[in-house]
Homo-oligomer: A and B are copies of this chain.
């Protein structure tokens, strides 16, 4: 199976990518930084038409061959692994603008599965094109390396979470990280859209949904935050960000 993108899946349509992203106003790929515009026009030429996929669909399966790099243009998704008995571990959530599988530039087999949370728009790049792009410009080589280092650092931060933090702090830290990323995307309020169920939070924090529910209830009761039906309301910003480690 090659996933939803290659079949005639309902909920999928081809759409033309607009020139800029209204909802997120992001750079096309992490390979193009915000400081200057090296290669921006080049990479735009490499971009292929993007696609819409419905919510709650598997985009890619772990182990699948995947010689393209996908970027999440709009909507939410997540990367995860599953064990034989069905237990699932979410590796990260993907927000508008995030690349899904940058490593496909070098390794054409994906080491995790990807599923949509909401309806999404995806942009596609050929891995070979991106390799040439990276290889030919020192600035872009460096950005690719920095992107990779950041991905590693994020994974290792999650390792610290799962290995050494209490359930309560894992949930807090997960939400704090998402809020930070939303703020970086221009959201600035005390209410954020967060299209996650308690099951998603449980699978991201290594907990059970029931226990996540208790923790969220606790936070709500303590007037720290309120996460309900896809919307997060923050009541204590200091507590959320505060005193990690």
Whether the pair B162, A206 counts as a contact (CB closer than 8 A) is yes
**Is there a chain B Cβ closer than 8 Å to A151's Cβ?**
yes
Q: What 1/0 flags go to A96-133 for Cβ under 8 Å of B?
A: 00000001011100011000000000000000000100
Whether the pair B84, A245 counts as a contact (CB closer than 8 A) is yes
For A243, the chain B residues whose CB sits under 8 A away are 84
**Is there a chain B Cβ closer than 8 Å to A218's Cβ?**
no
Partner of A156, one of B91, B106, B203: B91
Partner of A149, one of B106, B162, B205, B245: B106
Tell me the bound Cα distance from A99 to B97 in angstroms. 32
Given the contacts A105-B145, A106-B142, A141-B135, A159 and B159 also touching, CB distance less than 8 Å: yes
Whether the pair B91, A159 counts as a contact (CB closer than 8 A) is yes
For A156, the chain B residues whose CB sits under 8 A away are 81, 91, 111-112, 155
For A111, the chain B residues whose CB sits under 8 A away are 149, 152-153, 156
**Is there a chain B Cβ closer than 8 Å to A15's Cβ?**
no
For A87, the chain B residues whose CB sits under 8 A away are 164
**Is there a chain B Cβ closer than 8 Å to A179's Cβ?**
no
Tell me the bound Cα distance from A82 to B87 in angstroms. 28
Tell me the bound Cα distance from A87 to B205 in angstroms. 18
Tell me the bound Cα distance from A111 to B82 in angstroms. 28
**Is there a chain B Cβ closer than 8 Å to A77's Cβ?**
no
- Could you list which residues of chain A lie within 8 angstroms of chain B, going by C-beta atoms? 81-84, 87-89, 91, 103, 105-107, 111-112, 131, 134-135, 138, 141-142, 144-146, 148-149, 151-153, 155-156, 158-160, 162-164, 203, 205-206, 243, 245
25 contacts across the A-B interface (CB closer than 8 A): A81-B156, A82-B245, A83-B160, A83-B164, A84-B245, A88-B164, A89-B160, A91-B156, A103-B145, A103-B148, A103-B149, A106-B142, A106-B148, A106-B149, A107-B146, A131-B138, A131-B141, A135-B135, A145-B148, A148-B148, A155-B159, A158-B159, A159-B159, A159-B162, A163-B205
